[in-house]
Structure 1
Amino acid sequence: MAQAAPRLATYADLEAVLPHLVAEIVDGTLETHPRPRPRHASVSLKLGGELDFPFGRGRGGPGGWVFMAEPELHLGPHVVVPDLAGWRRERMPTEPEGAFITTPPDWACEILSPSTFRLDRGPKRRIYAEAGIGHLWLLDPDQRTLEGFALTGGRWLLLGTVVGGEPVSLAPFDAVSFPFDDLFPFADPATPET
């Protein structure tokens, strides 16, 4: 006897998720996880701010980008929510009207957490590559590392890894650098304060 095909998650399933959870549809499966922890939220806000002035507004940098925090992206059959995303202005000349965006960003950043690590390093990286997103950053606030990738020939090429004490100068935002440590307003809990 043949088994029934597994039911694929629908947008109605996503809309029914409680508001204190982030919901995505990845490979036909509804994935939910809690809202970000304070460290995660703080790092996201600070990174967005570091990029917005020089790259979004052109203050001290080239400008030409539009940034969004946690946009709902519809990429083919997938509904994903990166922590941060950026579009070159020419690819997004006007503000989207709807609740979601179908134009893939030129850059996405995932801030890793225990509840999203598997998705961010696994299926979402593949989905972003399939959508043709040119750059991906993975920021781990617990390990205090930032990895920058470029999509090359359909595969992710690691451009560099930034750790504490180093400047962030990774494509596509390498025209203006900033201190990586500025993303962390609190002392590293693994390092005793003197």
Structure 2
Amino acid sequence: MTVEMHWPDHLLTLEDWTALPEDNSRSYELVEGVLVVSPRPVLRHQFAVWQLAAQLHPQLPGQLCAVTEAEVIIDAALPPTVRVPDVVVIPNKSLEDDLARAQPEDVVLAVEILSDGSRRTDRVTKFFEYADAGIEHYWLVDLDEPASLAAYRLVDGNYELVAEQSGQMGLELAETPITIDIAALTSTRTDR
């Protein structure tokens, strides 16, 4: 069965965004009221997202959790912007309250895993949007061999590079030491 989608012919409000039908066949974001549609990530990308969240979550302080593909309202003013980072770290209270989307002030960390079609957006546009929204930590993961992670922290309104490397990486997040096995983001059990 084919469902016919009528695409918006105007800048969307947050109410319009919320009213869109659920469709998991593609990825959607809202950028200054414009609906941005892209293909779903390939399996390698999805595996890396899952692996990263699985590594992060048990190392976080008890009041925080790692969530994949959560909507974050970057700017609620008209025309609004809603981004969907690959992984976010947010307070457990956001889960307990069963919120549909997170506010930027609740996002401790936003992570984007670079992929074809999103590299410029993740490295340039989202870099500045997330900083402007006040998200304290931003990580960019590049899965090209050797897989690497670049970690940024917000300092005086701008992101500064804290660390960038492949292999194992030790970082501090919410005053807690975190270790990420970057190679594990792309390796299956048979690779180890």
Decide: shared fold, TM above 0.5. Answer: yes
CA distance in 1, matches of 2:22, 2:123: 23
TM-score normalised by L of structure 2: 0.78
Maintained 8 Å contact 1:136/1:148: yes
Between the two proteins, the alignment pairs up a number of residues equal to 173
Cα distance, 1:97–1:88 mapped onto 2, change above 3 Å? closer
CA deviation map 1:22-76 (0-9, x unaligned)? 1111233322111111111111111111111121xxxxxx443122110011122
Q: What is the CA–CA distance in structure 1 between the aligned matches of 2:124 and 2:22, rounded to whole Å?
A: 23
Q: Give the CA deviation at 1:184.
A: 1.8
**Structure with greater proportional strand content:** 2
- Are residue 123 (structure 1) and residue 125 (structure 2) matched? yes
1:32 to 26, 32, 37: 37
Q: Is the 8 A contact 1:148 1:171 kept in 2?
A: no
Contact residue 22 and residue 34 of structure 1 kept, 8 A: yes
C-alpha RMSD of matched pairs (Å): 2.6
**Aligned match of 2:108 in 106, 127, 134?**
106
Aligned to 2:27: 22
What residue is the counterpart of 2:73 in the other structure? 74
Q: Say whether the 8 Å CA contact 1:24–1:79 is kept in structure 2.
A: yes
**Structure whose CA Rg is larger:** 1
Which structure is higher in helix share?
2
Pick closer, same or farther for the CA change 1:94–1:142 going to 2, 3 Å: closer
Q: From 150, 153, 156, give the equivalent of 2:156.
A: 153
Which amino acid is 1:111 matched to? I
- Structure 1: how far apart are the matches of 2:38 and 2:99? 23
TM-superposed deviation, 1:186 = 4.6
Within 2, Cα distance between the matches of 1:94 and 1:49? Answer: 17
- Say whether the 8 Å CA contact 1:139–1:145 is kept in structure 2: yes
Identity of aligned residues (%): 28
